[in-house]
Every structure is written in C-alpha cells, then in structure tokens.
Structure 1
Amino acid sequence: MVAFISIAVTLLLVLLLARPAGLYIAKAFNYDRTGLDKFFTPFEKLIYAVGGIRQDNQTWKKYAAAAVLSNAVMITLVYIIFRTQAYLPLNPAGIPNMEPTLAFNTAISFMTNTNLQHYSGESGLSYLAQMLAIVFMMFTAPATALAVAIAFIRGLAGKPLGNFFVDLIRSITRILLPISFVMAFVFIALGVPQTLEPAAVAHTLEGAEQIIARGPVGSFLSIKELGNNGGGFFGVNSAHPFENPDAISNLLQIVLMMLFGTALPFTYGKMVGNMKQGRVLFISMALLFVVMLGISFSAEKAGNPALNTMGIQHDQGSMEGKEVRFGITQSSLYSVVTTATETGAVNGMHDSLTPLGGLISISNMMLNTVFGGVGAGFMNVLMYAIIGVFLAGLMVGRTPEFLGKKIEGREMKLVALTMLISPFLILIPTAIAVFSYPSTISNPGFHGLTQAMYEFTSSAANNGSGFEGLGDNTPFWNISTGIVMYLGRFISMVTLLAVAGSLAAKKAVPESVGTFRTDTGLFAVVFLASVLIVGALTFFPGLVLGPIAEQLTLKP
C-alpha cells in the first residue's frame, strides 16, 4: 500500500502542474503579456541586438536550416573544449584531453539532448568542461527541441512558423533558466554539493586514503532533469548520493522530468484553439504510461522466479542494481519515467532490470510517444495522431483532415520517412554490432542482444540511458552511436517541419458532417491503436529475440 501511495503522490503532483505549465508555455510563445515581461524583455532585446537577430517569420526551410546549422556550430565549439580541457583552467584533478572519437560522441550526445556517456562523469571532464560545455548544451539542446516543436504546432494551426533564434532564446529565458535556477537552490538545500573545490580526501579508520569526488553538481542537476538531458555529473548518475540524496530529491527529479512532456499537450491545445484535443492526447499518453508502469513495477516486484525457488529472494522482489534508499517502487517508477520522457537519467542500473522491466524501458524509447520529452517526443505524438487520422480516413473512403487541413500524399510521405528512420537507425547498427563486435558485449545470448539494441535505441531516441557493462568507449561504439544520435535528432526535425510548412500553406477546409473529429474518445482509441500497431510491431521481432526470449528462459 505504501508503494502505491508514493507513486500516486508523485503522479498527482505532476498532474497538478501539467496544465498551468502548459498554458504558461503557450503564453510565452504566443507573445501574450505576462507579469514577468519586465524582467525578461530587456534581456531578450539585448541578446537580439548583440546577435543581430531579426524577429521575422521564417519559412520551414530557413527555420530547419537555422536549427541544424546553429547546432552544428555548437557541436564544433564544445568538441574543441573537450579536446583541450587539459590546458584550460578549473581542472583541479588534472583530467587529460578527451580522445578524439570520445569527444566526437560526447559533443553530439549532449547537443542532441541524448547525454549518452561513454565516459565516467567525474573522471572524464574538468569542472570547466562540465560548466562551459555540458551545462551550456543542457540548455541549448532542449531549447532547440522546444523551439522546433512550437514551430510544428504553429504550422499545424495554420500560422507562420516563427523565427528559430527568437524561439530558442525565449525557450531559455522564459522557461528553462528561471525554473532551473530556482531548483538548483532547492537541490543544494537538500544536500547536493555546489563547489569548485577539488575532490575531498578522507582518511578511513583503517588508515586508507579515500578520494571523494564533488563539484558544481547542484546547478548541473536542475537543468539535467528539467531539460530531459539525463547525463550524470557522476558516473553512476542519480544513483549517487551527491546527485540524488534522498526520497525528496528523487521525487523532485521525477516531477522535473515529466513536467514538459505532460505540459505540452495543453500548450498544443491552447495554441491550436482546441483544448479538448490537447486533453485527449494527454489522457491517451497517460494511459500508455500507466500500463508501462504497471508492467514494470509488477515485474520488478516479482523478481527472478529462479531466485525465489532457491530462497535467495522472497517478497522483496528484485533489488539487484537498485539503491536501498529508493527501493523497488521508486526505482521502477524512475526507470519508466526516464525512458518515457527521453531523459536518460537513472537511479539504478537498467542492465539489472528484470527482462520485462528492461522490455518496458526499451519499448518506451522505441515508441517515443509515452509523453516524450522537451518537444521532440511530442512531435512524435502528433505524427502518430496524423497517422491515425489518415488511417481513419482510408477506412471511410474520405480524404483525411487534421485541424481543418487535408492530409495528402506529400505529408504522408514525409511522415512515413520519419517513422522509418528510427528502425533503420536501431536495428541495422545492432545487427552490425552483434556480428562484428561481440567482444564488447559483456552478456551472452538474449541479454547481450538486448544490451546492444538498448544502446542504439537510446541513441536514436535521444534518451541516453544504457545497459551498463557494454564496452562502449571504443571507436566503433563512439562513432556509430554518434552518427545515430545526430541522424535520429535532426532528420525527424527537418521532415516534420516540412510537414508543418506544407500544412501551414494550405487553406482550411470547413468542418462537415463527415469530418473525423480529433477531440473525442474515438480518436483516442484510433491514436493508441496507431501507436501500438504501427509503432510497436515495427520492433516486435527484435524484442522477441531479446527481452521477451530472456523472460521465457526464467523458469523456477
């Protein structure tokens, strides 16, 4: 009962914040007046003036080019920092320069909002690199995704897409920076360190010397969770007591991870002028989330039946790879939230999840629609909504319409291309890795296949969590996942912006008796069916060979 209460309290807090947060985001991007304008507007005008930014509307091509090219420049700049950190200040531990392929992987990883880490946080980067490069990307990467998602919503609503640089800056100044600034102080008050002092040296009772890593963790942690970044200051991420001290910090991290994913349906409803449709999408995603959480929690609570028979594991469930201070309940909830929201932070080791628990985590990333993260996930939600409308239109022999715009061949070709990107980026590299680099996979059989597939799924979905134990800091894994992360991020952004641009240019079709309404329970059913049939079946063969087959081998 206590377990269910703790989950209910966490999700209730998320639910209470979702609608007001969504409406505030809509206000920020609709340029509605707010009480905070007097603080933000002068600062934004200064940035526009210094940067030479014109507040004009861009075509979808210019908007996409601005997003891709500016991110490419930022990737290059942070790559240089990683390669020269040994010569730069604020490096009290004397950490050497990053190896070229690792620097390539890390720069792309954080700039694509993935935060896949093939290095151990505290020993791989200097304080300067953590603050100047990593935290910088932790703001600009989610701001990019949020800006593009807002442009996509505007296009669906038949409005001009806006200006990428204006949207990028407003994403940071109006949303990311204020919340993360406040939450940094909250985490510091809870015991998260915030210092530029070098690692502490302690002498144990046995006379041994112990090095205790620390650093500017509080400011890192707040934007890590709020921006659905997920990378850890420490190698073990939020399983480290300095990065996640107790149950309160754990609850706040979950709330921050879910904030944007749950808020954006309401932002969408407000911006397209149909709040009911936003609620339908929210409820649909909430149902998917509850089902995923229920399966994962039940699996971890049941544990390994073989261990139950041996008397090693009784009613406690599977505590392998989990922190005692969080237990099965909060570890299961965290694993579902972090993969459902594209965050990738972990408070336990996902490699130690039961096969069904691992299946849920990898499925969340493959679907990438169970709330999703800061923008990119919600664009996938709207993509499946368009697919659902198209399929419904085919069944009744009528040209499908979405928000009063006809969905025709051009749009569906772009949507189909977007949908096919993910399986190509996951399944083909997984096959290459298993066949050509088996020595880097630490587990044999079904679990080993899941280990490799999880890595590429996490990369393609811009999540960043991993099945630990994989020998990933090698040229093959660094380069291959770096390419997958980049393509998984920007191809879908460009194709969906093209869809938005195409729909924005079309004339609205008056609603008639035959129009398929997208703000009803029937549409919710069609939407969920589209996600489960079109999305899930794409990856089903791979899942059968991995976690499902492993689950079937667990015999008491």
Structure 2
Amino acid sequence: MIMFAVLSIGVTLLLVLLLARPTGLYMARVFNYEPSGLDKWFGWIEKPIFALGGIRRDHQSWKQYALSAVLSNLVMILLVYLIFRVQKFLPLNPSGIENMEPMLAFNTAISFMTNTNLQHYSGESGLSYLSQMIAIVFMMFTGPSTGLAVGIAFIRGLAGKPLGNFFVDLTRSITRIYLPIAFVTAFIFIALGVPQTLDATATAQTIGGAVQEIARGPVGSFLSIKELGNNGGGFFGVNSAHPFENPDGISNALQIVLMLLLVTAFPFTYGKMVGNAKQGRVLFVSMAMLFIVMLGISLSAESAGNPALNALGIQHEQGSMEGKEARFGVAQSSLYSVVTTASETGAVNTMHDTLTPIAGLITLANMMLNTVFGGVGVGFINVLMYAMIGVFLSGLMVGRTPEFLGKKIEGREMKLIAVTMLIQPLLILAPTALALHTNPDTISNPGFHGLTQALYEFTSSAANNGSGFEGLGDNTPFWNITTGIVMYLGRYFSMVTMLAVVGSLAVKKPVPETSGTFRTDNALFAGVFLVTVLIVGALTFFPALVLGPVAEQLTLMP
C-alpha cells in the first residue's frame, strides 16, 4: 500500500516535471511581441478584440501598466457584483437561486477577481448557472490572466526591455494559454464523469424511500479553468471532495497536474526571456526542493496520525483518515493539500480543518512564504523578491553594491521591497487578532485550533489562495468585509510596489560583470535564496505558528 502511494505520487510529479520546460518555453513565445507562427493560429480571435477595445501594441510605463491592471480589475469587480445582486431575475436559474446579499456579493466579487476564490457560500446553492458561467468563470480567466500578465511585465523589466502593454498581455494570456488548455481538459473531465448540463437539480428517491435533491450543472467547463488558473473555487460546497467534481484517481491526478503546470513552467519562461536559462533552472530546483520538503513533512504527519489515538491503539492503518475521501486516501489527500497551497490554488479534496496539526502547519507555511512556486505570475514575482533580498544581503556582507541581472539594487528598490514584505504579515496578523478579540463566537473550536482557524482564513485571503480551514461562521458582515479588504490589498498592493521596483531598475544602466560579481545561476545562489526565504519569510510568522498548530500538536502528545 505504501509503495503504491509513493509510486502514484511519483508518477504524477514526474508528469509535471516533463511538462514544465516545454510549457515555459511556449509561454515565452506567447509574450514575444515579434511576429511568430502563433499569430496565424490565434490572430483571428485577437484582432477583433484589439479593434473593439482600441488596443495597440504600444509599450506602457510601469505606472500605466499598474493603473491598467488595477482599474480594469476594479471595473470587472463592479460588473460581477451587479450580476450577483440581480441573479434571481436573470435567465439560466432553473433552481430559483435568490439574489446574493450585498456583503456576500462584495466578498465574492473581490474573491474571484483577485484569483483567491474564497467562498463564504455553498457553491451549488449560492449562485445560478448564469452567475457561475458569465461571472465566476469569466473571473477565473481574467483574474489569473492579470497575474500572469503582471509577472511577464516584471520579467521584461528585469531583462532591460519595455514592460509591454497590459491589455495585449491580458488578451494573449486568455487566448493563447488559458482558453486552449482549459477547452481540451474540460472534455477530459467530462469523459471521466464530471457533469456538464444546464438542467435543473435532479430529484431522486433513495432505497430507503427518502427524496434526495442532487445538484448538478456545467461543472466540466468550470473545473478545468478552476485548476489551470490556480483559482480553486468549487462548483459544489465541498469542492474537489465532491464525486461530481473529482470522480476518481485519474481526475484527481489531472487536477494536480493542472494546478502545477503553469507555476512550474514559469521559471523556464523567466530564464528564456532574461537570457539566462541556468538562473531559471536554479530557481526551479530551489522551489522544487522546498516543495519536496513540505510534502515529506505533511505525508509523514498524516501517515503517523493522531498521537493520542495511536497511544490508545485505535488509529486507522493508513494514518489519519479523518475528513478524507476513502477513494483518495491519506497519500493523495496530503499531496493535494500541499499542491493546492504551494500553487496558491485553494481547491481541496480533503477538509484542511481535519488535518493533523503539523500537516495543517505546512499548508499555512506554503501560503505565508508564497514562494513554494506560488500563484502563476505574481507568485514568481515573490520568488524574485526574495532572490533580490538574498543578493542585497550578500552584497552587504562583502561590502559590494548588490547587482541582479546586471542592475544595481539600491536604497529605492529595497525600500519598496521592504514595504511589500511588511504588508503581508500586517494583513494576516492584525485581522486575526481583531477576529479573536471581537468575534470569538464565530470560531467553532476553542484554544489553539480556534486560533489556527482564524489565522488560516486571513492567510488564505492575503496570499490569494482561497482554501478554508473551515469551522468558521464566516458568512457574516465582519468576515465578509475584512477578508474582502485583505484579499484586495493582498493582490494589488504588491503588484504595484513590485512594478515600481522593476520600473526603477529598468532605467538604470547595466553594470558589466566582473570577477567580483555575485553569480545568481549556481548552487551558492540557490543556498542563499533558500536561507533568505526561511529566515526572512518563515521567522516573520513563527510566533503565530507556535501559538496555533505547534501548540496543538504538543497537546496531542501522550
């Protein structure tokens, strides 16, 4: 059984590894503004979009690029908010779903547009088919495409090139990457048994004579972009633990591959675009090492199970099966929990609230660091931010002005990076303290586990992950407003500040490489990068983690 579990995990991750480099090189071609063979395949759909929107391939400054991203996303938030508020009166609502109330609509619109997909409603009972298709799925394409576009602009700036045009990059992200892959994989999911229908909820009579309402809908098309775009929001309330959303082991493996596909490819895109493929590989290997360590700890903790139950001799032979689907078991559930938080997707095939404290800590750590691959585009910006911090600290230790890709990193850039680093712990820790003080009645568990529930909710919001630890009465004005604000600031604040960093670097003259230049494409740099992530990133949240999952683990020890 153990060997089979290890083999299944190995095969899935090997498939991701084989796809990462070719996908990364393809993305580099997509965002090259020079004419290419891809134009004849996608030009027919892009040209009308550019003409209708008045979009030209002129280059924007970092301020124009950032303003275009933030304002366009804000307009989209307002549009989908209106759809949620009047869905009762719109077509494609065969189950008669009511209008979404204002605070929940506010939270949901921000959640999906920021690529977070935090859900304070149950998927099948909160939205009509029309809302799912033209609001939720619409944002599932435009939200991750925004992050991808900003990530590409950041890379261009580091390479000393113009940042490009946000609207061109947004369009190409959808037409050349997300739409083709999602279209094909949607059919695969449907073939595996995922429903795709506009019929109303089915009514069935059970063997015991009871009447059961069975929710269904256009799930296949929803599911493919949910995973590919690192969205994670579920069509059903229990997300990918639902048999209609994740029927079997093959669909589970495909979901994992889709979650990791673009985020593992991005380092290769970076290496190609900056002309230093070796540095891209170094960053990929560094993140992969962090991922393997996180996965190993989670698997070990879940396989060992609850120490208190072990002492009583009543632990399940597979480990901790609490909150898990029997068709996936401990190994695939642990893998899924690490993948979904490492890639900032947020989909779940097991309830994270029921994970052992150490496995729960791993999901938190993935989101807090946001560098174990991280979300597509913006997650890699986080990786490069830590790389710059590592280079800066190394330069200080040897008394040399730090350089990254031939550009000096000076006071202006480090101030912006410092502000970017400080915003995430502020967005996580301050609201968590406020929630524990003012809303303890909405937290289902007392003590250390209750603290972790609140901490997880705001960590998931700030990192734009969207998975829930559950156990919270979160559909209240307090949770809807606070997490909405945290999701919005967590998404766009770092986008703007890091574009400002690359805007500052872009105008600097390249510095010739000398024998004293600190190389960023070797094993030494990989070590510096990992140490920087662990020391600067992890220690920021260490006290909160000790008060939550670590303290809970100690209480379970016999």
Q: TM-score range, shorter-chain basis?
A: over 0.9
How far residue 45 of structure 1 moved from its aligned partner, in angstroms, is 1.2
Which of 484, 487, 496 aligns to 1:485? It is: 487
Which of 510, 529, 532 aligns to 2:512? It is: 510
Paired residue for 1:282? 284
Paired residue for 2:377? 375
Which of 493, 496, 510 aligns to 2:498? It is: 496
Which of 423, 429, 432 aligns to 2:425? It is: 423
TM-score scaled to structure 2, two decimals?
A: 0.99
Paired residue for 2:138? 136
Paired residue for 1:80? 82
1:280-429 counterparts in 2 under 5 A?
280-429=282-431
One-letter amino acid of the structure 1 residue matched with residue 176 of structure 2 = R
How far residue 469 of structure 1 moved from its aligned partner, in angstroms, is 1.4
Paired residue for 2:449? 447
2:212 alignment partner, SS class: strand
Which of 42, 45, 48 aligns to 1:46? It is: 48
Q: Does 1:543 align with 2:545?
A: yes
Q: Quick one: distance in 1 between partners of 2:96 and 2:171?
A: 34
Which range moves more in the overlay, 200-209 or 61-70? 200-209
Q: Deviations over 1:73-104 (max 9, x none)?
A: 00000000000000101011111011100000
Are the counterparts in 1 of residues 344 and 465 from structure 2 also a CA contact under 8 Å?
A: yes
Paired residue for 1:99? 101
Q: Quick one: distance in 2 between partners of 1:207 and 1:12?
A: 47
Q: Deviations over 1:33-54 (max 9, x none)?
A: 5544212012111111011112
Q: Quick one: distance in 1 between partners of 2:378 and 2:449?
A: 29
Q: Quick one: distance in 1 between partners of 2:20 and 2:145?
A: 19
1:65 alignment partner, SS class: helix
How far residue 526 of structure 1 moved from its aligned partner, in angstroms, is 0.3
Q: Quick one: distance in 2 between partners of 1:535 and 1:224?
A: 28
Q: Deviations over 1:298-325 (max 9, x none)?
A: 0000000111222321432000000000
Q: Quick one: distance in 2 between partners of 1:173 and 1:507?
A: 35
Paired residue for 1:259? 261
One-letter amino acid of the structure 2 residue matched with residue 462 of structure 1 = N
Q: Quick one: distance in 2 between partners of 1:39 and 1:23?
A: 17
Are the counterparts in 1 of residues 416 and 497 from structure 2 also a CA contact under 8 Å?
A: yes
2:556 alignment partner, SS class: coil
Q: Quick one: distance in 2 between partners of 1:179 and 1:500?
A: 30
1:284 alignment partner, SS class: helix
Q: Quick one: distance in 2 between partners of 1:85 and 1:320?
A: 37
One-letter amino acid of the structure 2 residue matched with residue 372 of structure 1 = G
Q: Quick one: distance in 2 between partners of 1:473 and 1:253?
A: 28
TM-score scaled to structure 1, two decimals?
A: 0.99
How far residue 31 of structure 1 moved from its aligned partner, in angstroms, is 3.3
Which of 199, 203, 207 aligns to 1:201? It is: 203
One-letter amino acid of the structure 2 residue matched with residue 70 of structure 1 = S
Which range moves more in the overlay, 202-211 or 147-156? 202-211
Paired residue for 2:58? 56
Q: Quick one: distance in 2 between partners of 1:189 and 1:20?
A: 26
1:312 alignment partner, SS class: coil
How far residue 294 of structure 1 moved from its aligned partner, in angstroms, is 0.2
Are the counterparts in 2 of residues 27 and 33 from structure 1 also a CA contact under 8 Å?
A: no
Are the counterparts in 2 of residues 67 and 144 from structure 1 also a CA contact under 8 Å?
A: yes
Q: Deviations over 1:242-285 (max 9, x none)?
A: 00000000000000000111000000000000000000000000
Are the counterparts in 2 of residues 258 and 373 from structure 1 also a CA contact under 8 Å?
A: no
Paired residue for 2:120? 118
One-letter amino acid of the structure 1 residue matched with residue 496 of structure 2 = V
For structure 1, which runs of at least 5 residues remain unmatched after alignment?
none
1:526-541 counterparts in 2 under 5 A?
526-541=528-543
1:30 alignment partner, SS class: coil
Q: Does 1:463 align with 2:465?
A: yes
How far residue 163 of structure 1 moved from its aligned partner, in angstroms, is 0.3
Are the counterparts in 1 of residues 30 and 38 from structure 2 also a CA contact under 8 Å?
A: no
One-letter amino acid of the structure 2 residue matched with residue 80 of structure 1 = L
Are the counterparts in 2 of residues 422 and 460 from structure 1 also a CA contact under 8 Å?
A: yes
Q: Quick one: distance in 2 between partners of 1:32 and 1:273?
A: 16
Are the counterparts in 1 of residues 318 and 329 from structure 2 also a CA contact under 8 Å?
A: no
* RMSD value, Cα: 0.7
1:269 alignment partner, SS class: helix
1:463 alignment partner, SS class: coil
Are the counterparts in 2 of residues 19 and 263 from structure 1 also a CA contact under 8 Å?
A: yes
Q: Quick one: distance in 2 between partners of 1:33 and 1:255?
A: 31
Q: Quick one: distance in 1 between partners of 2:414 and 2:435?
A: 32
Paired residue for 1:22? 24
For structure 2, which runs of at least 5 residues remain unmatched after alignment?
none
Q: Quick one: distance in 1 between partners of 2:124 and 2:13?
A: 32
Paired residue for 2:14? 12
2:204 alignment partner, SS class: strand
One-letter amino acid of the structure 2 residue matched with residue 109 of structure 1 = S
